Structures are given as structure tokens and as C-alpha cells.
Chains A and B, each alone.
Chain A
Amino acid sequence: MINRKCAKGVKQDPKTPFPSGGRLESGDHYTLLPPCVSPLPKGEEISLYHFVCYVFTASLGLYLLLFSVVTAAAVLPEDRADALYHSYEGGGVEITGPSLLVLKKFGQSVAVTGNFYVDSVSSASIDVVTTASPYSEERTEYSGSIEYLHGNSVMSLSYANSTENDYDANTASFGISMDMFGNMTTLNLGYSHGWDTVGRSDIAEFSEEVRRHNYRLGVSQVITKDMILEMNYEGITDEGFLRNPYRQVRFLDASAPKGYSYDEELYPNTRTSSAVTLRAKHYLPWRAAVSGEYRFFADTWGIDAHTFKVGYTHPLSGGLLLEGNVRHYTQTAADFYGDLFPFYPSQNFLARDKELSTFTSNTLGIKVSYDVVKNGWRAIDKGSINLAYDMIWFDYEDFRDARVTGVTPGTEPLYSFSAGVLQLYLSLWF
């Protein structure tokens, strides 16, 4: 049996009332420790995410002892500028916008990066159609980072701010990357702190908070002269108002014309998750590359997820590069998820957010790149124009299409949709 625990080490059962009613109270404190470092209360069984975190941390310690030979120096990335146009269309939602990035080195040891990103959203999704009205909004994100190279290490500091009419998110991060063992091993450590303010476009005085802590640990290892392996761990703790304030749960109601009604979702106010990714890339004799990736994810809400991805990169003559990838994702539902509850509130926490349901997603992606500046032009060393298209199919196993009426509640067809994701971007190195 897997016990669910919250970030503060308090056992948080979905059926038990939560002291602060899903809100962040002023007396709440935030832990600065990675999710698995806080001691388990006596008699408590080890949870799956604690287990994953312990195993990863112990393996990393052992690994570093084995390969702790520090030599040679790291390098900063090359100066570059990217201009991307992105478009997502599917499930009644259309999101488009630009992303602009500039990376510039100052001397050999300092690099500064700036990024500007916009999401223009026009939504008539299934959630909006069944419980609200279609809307349009815009999210703007600015981020900046500074990297400092010293010997074999690169340290980075970054800050990002994202704003939309009803959500404001801030993230400050620190990271360090070290090359060691004859440059065959790169160790990455990172920490981010996030603080968000959640609002509602229809209630001006509505204001709630979210605090986030992310802990990242990664190792990149050269295996052979043709193969590289990477392992990443990320533990995240969230505390505060974690649900979407507009989404609602569905429950049986004999007095309603459809036989059911909607009311507010109720979420726990903490969530802790662990994810471990293992990926490898292999160079093929005809100058091509094949890659494979697996990610395991588990959180305190009861979601377990597996992601598998394989990719192939094939350069053609004339500066053309082709890439293809296939991705498969599957997850189990959160403990407090339900498509149709017997009454309201039938339990202390209730969610009908389809991202917390049991579902699978499958992606087929292709990308074509073309070198536009082959031998340099003025200050530009090289450049490429890229077109990528991903088709994603989402198939839900316990989220029903409530747009279908005239049937017994809870017997509507299961929901599914597909989305097309387009990226068109120009990259220049100078």
C-alpha cells in the first residue's frame, strides 16, 4: 500500500478534512528540504515517491564517489538568437504566439539570456462549453538568466515572470553544472522557488497564493564514443491554491433537468511529486542519431505516470535535417478525481479536471530543418530555419463527454480529442 503524504510531512488522506480548507494560511511554513530528505514519521510506510527519491539520491552519491575525478574545463553555449512562432489547436482550444530568445556572451566567462514568450488563447474547450462561456486571453512571460563559467563549473541564476489577467507567476532559479571525470560526466544541480497569485476574471477581489519548490539533480554520462546517457530527477512541492478556480465537479442531482449539477472543485492545498527520466542517444555510422527516453512520475495525489519516447535524426545533403519522434504517455487518476460524484460534497476533496483523470496520450512528431547561412554572412556564423509539427491524441478512460445529453448521467461516451502543435522558428548563431 502506498501512503500519500504532503510536503510538510503530515499525512493527508483525501477523505480527511484539511485544516486550512485548501487555502494557504499565513501560519503555514514551507520546507526548504528536498521532498525525500524530511524524515518519515514513526510507523509510516515509505511512499513510492520517497522510494524513488531515496534510490536516486543514493545512486548519485555512489556514482560521484566512483567518478569523482575533476579535470578540464566547461564551456558556455554559443551566442544565438531564436524567433519562434507556435500554434496549438485541438479540443476547441487555439493557442498561438511568439517566443524570442537572445543569448550573448560577455568575455569567455559570462553569458546572459533573455526570453519573451506569449500565449494568445482562444478557448471553447469541453470544460468551457459545459460549465462556462468561451473566452480569449493572453499570457506573457519574460525571463532572464545569467551564467558564470568558473573552471569546470557553470553557475546560473534566472528569474521568470508570467502574467495573464487572472494569474501571475514568478520563478527564481539557481543551478550549477560541473564537468568531471575527463569531461565524460556532467553533474547538474538546481533549485527553483516559485510564488504565484491566482485570481478570477469574474471576481475582482478573489486572490489566492501558490508557493513552489523545485529540486533538480541530473547526470549526463558519456558511455562510448557514440553514446551518451542522461539521468534527471526533479522533486516538486506545491503549497496553496492548486486548482483552476473555474473548473467544476459534476454530481447527481434528481432535481436538475439533466439529472446532474455542477459545483466548485475542492483540492488539497499541498502536492509533492517526484519524476525520474532516463534518456540515451546513439550515433549511427551513416551520420544519424537514434534516441530513447523513459520517465517515471509519482505524486502525493495518487497520480503515477509513465512516458516513453523514441526519436530519430537524419541529416540529408544540401543542409537539410529530418527528425521524427513517437511519444507514449499514460497516467492513473488522482485519488479524489471523479467524473460524476453521488452528491456534493460526497468527500472532502473533489476534482473533475481531466488532467487528473486516467488517460493516455500518443504523439507523432516530425521536424525539418534547413541551414540558411552555410558559410557565414557578416556577423552571422550559421543559421537554420525549422518547421516542426506534432500530432497528439488524448484518450480519456474516466472523463465522459458531458456535451452529450438525453442519456443516463454517467453513461455518456468517453471523451477524446487530438491536437496539432506547430512550431516555425529561425535560429541564428553569431
Chain B
Amino acid sequence: MMRLPSLLLISALLTACGWIEPWVKPYERAHLADPIMSFSPDPVSSAYIKHVYESREGARGASGSGGGGCGCN
């Protein structure tokens, strides 16, 4: 269990020394800002599809589109 504190200490030092800096600048984000790059562009559609799968399959959660109580058991 001594590994975790050492790892955390090393990471903290790395951050403090500024070894890792944001490598994609704001002016380089035209592609990322394109609507086609959104994981769930339409909330009504994502919520609906999530509901369809959660009422037909045993797995649930971590869909990235919020939580809700559908009462579908």
C-alpha cells in the first residue's frame, strides 16, 4: 500500500514543476467544437435510447446522459 502515496507525491511534484501543460491550445479547437464531435448532441434522443436499453437489458448506468427514475422494472 506504500505505492499509492509515492505515486501521488510524484504526480504532485510533476504538476508543481509545471511539466504537464495544456497541449491543445484554444485556437486549435475548431474540429473539437464542430457539432459532429458531440457525444450526445440531442438530449431528448439520448434520454429515450437510454430508457429503451435500460428497460430491456440487465446493465444500467454510466451512459453519460444523466440519471433518472423511469420506473421500468
Q: Is the CB of B45 within 8 A of A234?
A: no
Across-interface contacts of B7 in A (CB, < 8 A): 62
Interface residues in B19-45 (C-beta closer than 8 Å to A): 20-26, 28-29, 31-32, 34, 36-37, 39, 42-45
A131 located at the interface, meaning its Cβ lies under 8 Å from any Cβ of chain B in the complex: no
B59 located at the interface, meaning its Cβ lies under 8 Å from any Cβ of chain A in the complex: yes
Interface residues in A200-247 (C-beta closer than 8 Å to B): 210, 212, 214, 216, 218, 222, 224-226, 228, 230, 232-236, 242-244
CA distance A346 to B48 in the complex (A): 38
CA distance A160 to B32 in the complex (A): 32
A152 located at the interface, meaning its Cβ lies under 8 Å from any Cβ of chain B in the complex: no
Across-interface contacts of B61 in A (CB, < 8 A): 214, 216, 234-236, 273-275, 297
Q: Is the CB of B71 within 8 A of A164?
A: yes
Given A288-B36, A303-B59, A356-B58, are A425 and B73 neighbors across the interface (CB < 8 Å)? no
Interface residues in B49-73 (C-beta closer than 8 Å to A): 49, 52-53, 55-64, 66-71, 73
A29 located at the interface, meaning its Cβ lies under 8 Å from any Cβ of chain B in the complex: no
Q: Is the CB of B67 within 8 A of A216?
A: yes
Across-interface contacts of B11 in A (CB, < 8 A): 62, 65-66
B8 located at the interface, meaning its Cβ lies under 8 Å from any Cβ of chain A in the complex: yes
Distance from B42 Cβ to chain A, minimum over Cβ atoms (Å) = 6
A305 located at the interface, meaning its Cβ lies under 8 Å from any Cβ of chain B in the complex: yes
Distance from A236 Cβ to chain B, minimum over Cβ atoms (Å) = 5
Interface size on A, residues (CB 8 A): 97
Interface residues in A65-107 (C-beta closer than 8 Å to B): 65-69, 71-72, 82, 84, 86, 88, 99-101
Partner of B62 from A84, A196, A228, A234 at Cβ < 8 Å: A234
A421 located at the interface, meaning its Cβ lies under 8 Å from any Cβ of chain B in the complex: yes
Distance from A214 Cβ to chain B, minimum over Cβ atoms (Å) = 5
CA distance A169 to B67 in the complex (A): 13
A362 located at the interface, meaning its Cβ lies under 8 Å from any Cβ of chain B in the complex: no
Identity of the chain B residue whose Cβ is nearest the Cβ of A81 in the assembled complex: B44
B4 located at the interface, meaning its Cβ lies under 8 Å from any Cβ of chain A in the complex: yes
A355 located at the interface, meaning its Cβ lies under 8 Å from any Cβ of chain B in the complex: yes
Distance from A4 Cβ to chain B, minimum over Cβ atoms (Å) = 14
CA distance A101 to B37 in the complex (A): 22
Across-interface contacts of A183 in B (CB, < 8 A): 22, 26
Partner of A228 from B14, B37, B59 at Cβ < 8 Å: B37
CA distance A307 to B54 in the complex (A): 12
Using an 8 Å CB-CB cutoff, how does the interface string of A162-201 with B read, 1 for contact, 0 for none? 1010011111010100000111100000101010100000
Across-interface contacts of B15 in A (CB, < 8 A): 65-69
Distance from A153 Cβ to chain B, minimum over Cβ atoms (Å) = 17
Across-interface contacts of A233 in B (CB, < 8 A): 62
CA distance A141 to B69 in the complex (A): 9
Across-interface contacts of B71 in A (CB, < 8 A): 139, 162, 164, 167-169, 196
Across-interface contacts of A167 in B (CB, < 8 A): 71
Pairs across A and B, CB under 8 Å, 8 listed: A72-B26, A139-B71, A214-B61, A386-B45, A392-B56, A425-B42, A425-B45, A427-B42
B residues lining the A interface (CB < 8 Å): 4, 7-8, 11-12, 14-15, 20-26, 28-29, 31-32, 34, 36-37, 39, 42-45, 47-49, 52-53, 55-64, 66-71, 73
A residues lining the B interface (CB < 8 Å): 58, 61-62, 65-69, 71-72, 82, 84, 86, 88, 99-101, 115, 117, 139, 141, 143, 158, 160, 162, 164, 167-171, 173, 175, 181-184, 190, 192, 194, 196, 210, 212, 214, 216, 218, 222, 224-226, 228, 230, 232-236, 242-244, 273-277, 279, 281, 283, 287-289, 291, 295, 297, 299, 303, 305, 307, 313, 315, 321, 329, 331, 334, 355-356, 361, 386, 388, 390, 392, 394, 419, 421, 423, 425, 427
